[in-house]
């Protein structure tokens, strides 16, 4: 049961960052949004390096050439957010985010190839129920006839999902072969180097980052640092959970994220409508309650095998 509780934390925390991301993008990052968010993410992640070194000093006492592969793998995580942000720029989040349910599919294939992970029939059935229900909970049925496939958005999300899958699969591979803290340490070095690359070599990203700092320095730093800390805790929890159970299962549990996004959206709509406004009509609530019931059944099937 420990793996399930650990795996449940990331979708809760990432649903919080979804709302904070939306607030940041609309209030501060109108121009140069992608570059600014990427560089901020890399910068805050670097602050975690001394913390890891204090907790686990061994990370500073040994080096292996294979650690450079962990650095490259770290860059995959930030690189995966690039096509996602560009897809988000082309289409609505309600249609873009559900496409992340491709990640468990890629993880299932990659986990079998690189880690030898397999799922039983109950886990596969429960996973399918969770993934389909997660897409259903995000759809606006009132506009269902207007929905059509944008292939550029779809391909961007395929690329993003593949890169995320590679990052988490190889994190587990390196963590099992070496050490959880060593892998985390060198992965965050990869974050920092990738952010530095963006800052130095992509002028539009650098200009957007500097512009945001100049105009709203205190607010941006406060909100963004909080957001990145939540994101880091979510990723560390996900990484640790993946050591305890197959990566595909952890991604399946992460399919609960649309539910938490909706739940927090309702809370914000009632308490802070200026930040977020969720559709809480009877039809929408009925649709999403049905999806939540289906997700609960899926979670039960996945969890009963442990």
pLDDT digits (tens, 9 = 90+) for 254-266: 878 877 887 888 8
CA-CA distance, 150 to 136, in Å (whole number)? 18
Residue 40 neighbours by CB distance under 10 Å = 23
Say yes or no to pLDDT of 80 above 60.
yes
Stated length of the chain: 306
- CA distance linking residue 285 with residue 80, whole number of Å: 32
For 133-167, write each residue's pLDDT tens digit: 777 766 666 655 655 556 787 889 889 989 999 99
Lowest mean pLDDT among 99-113, 173-187, 208-222: 208-222
d(CA 286, CA 289): 5
Number of domains composing the chain: 1
**pTM, full prediction:** 0.83
How are the residues of the chain apportioned to helix, strand and coil, as percentages rounded to the nearest 5? 85, 0, 15
- Pick from 126, 83, 76, 119: which is nearest to 247 by CA? 119
Task: Show the domain range for 76.
Answer: 2-303
Q: Is residue 130 a contact partner of residue 293, using CB atoms and an 8 Å limit? A: no
Contact 209, 39 (CB under 8 A): yes
Q: Measure the CA–CA gap between 203 and 198, rounded to whole angstroms.
A: 8
Distance of CA 69 to the CA centre of its chain: 21
């Amino acid at each position: 049961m420990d793996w399930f509780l650990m795996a449940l934390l990331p979708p809760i925390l990432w649903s919080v960052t979804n709302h904070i991301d939306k607030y940041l993008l609309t209030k501060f990052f109108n121009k140069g949004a992608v570059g600014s968010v990427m560089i901020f993410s890399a910068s805050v992640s670097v602050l975690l390096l001394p913390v890891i070194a204090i907790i686990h000093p061994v990370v500073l006492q040994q080096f292996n050439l294979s650690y450079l592969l962990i650095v490259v793998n770290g860059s995959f995580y930030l690189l995966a957010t690039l096509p996602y942000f560009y897809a988000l720029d082309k289409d609505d989040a309600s249609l873009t985010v559900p496409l992340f349910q491709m990640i468990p599919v890629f993880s299932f294939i990659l986990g079998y190839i690189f880690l030898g992970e397999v799922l039983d029939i109950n886990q596969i059935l429960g996973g399918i129920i969770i993934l389909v229900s997660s897409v259903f909970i995000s759809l606006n049925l009132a506009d269902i006839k207007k929905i059509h496939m944008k292939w550029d958005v779809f391909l961007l999300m395929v690329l993003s999902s593949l890169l995320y899958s590679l990052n988490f699969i190889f994190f587990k591979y390196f963590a099992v072969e070496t050490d959880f803290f060593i892998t985390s340490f060198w992965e965050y070095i990869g974050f920092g180097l990738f952010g530095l690359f963006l800052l130095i070599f992509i002028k539009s990203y650098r200009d957007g980052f500097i512009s945001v700092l100049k105009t709203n320095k205190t607010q941006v730093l406060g909100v963004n640092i909080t957001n990145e800390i939540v994101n880091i805790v979510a990723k560390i929890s996900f990484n640790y959970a993946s050591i305890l159970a197959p990566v595909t299962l952890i991604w399946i549990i992460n399919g609960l994220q649309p539910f938490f996004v909706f739940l927090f959206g309702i809370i914000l709509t009632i308490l802070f409508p200026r930040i977020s406004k969720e559709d809480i009509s009877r039809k929408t609530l009925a649709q999403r309650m049905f999806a939540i019931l289906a997700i609960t059944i899926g979670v039960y099937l996945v969890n009963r095998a442990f």
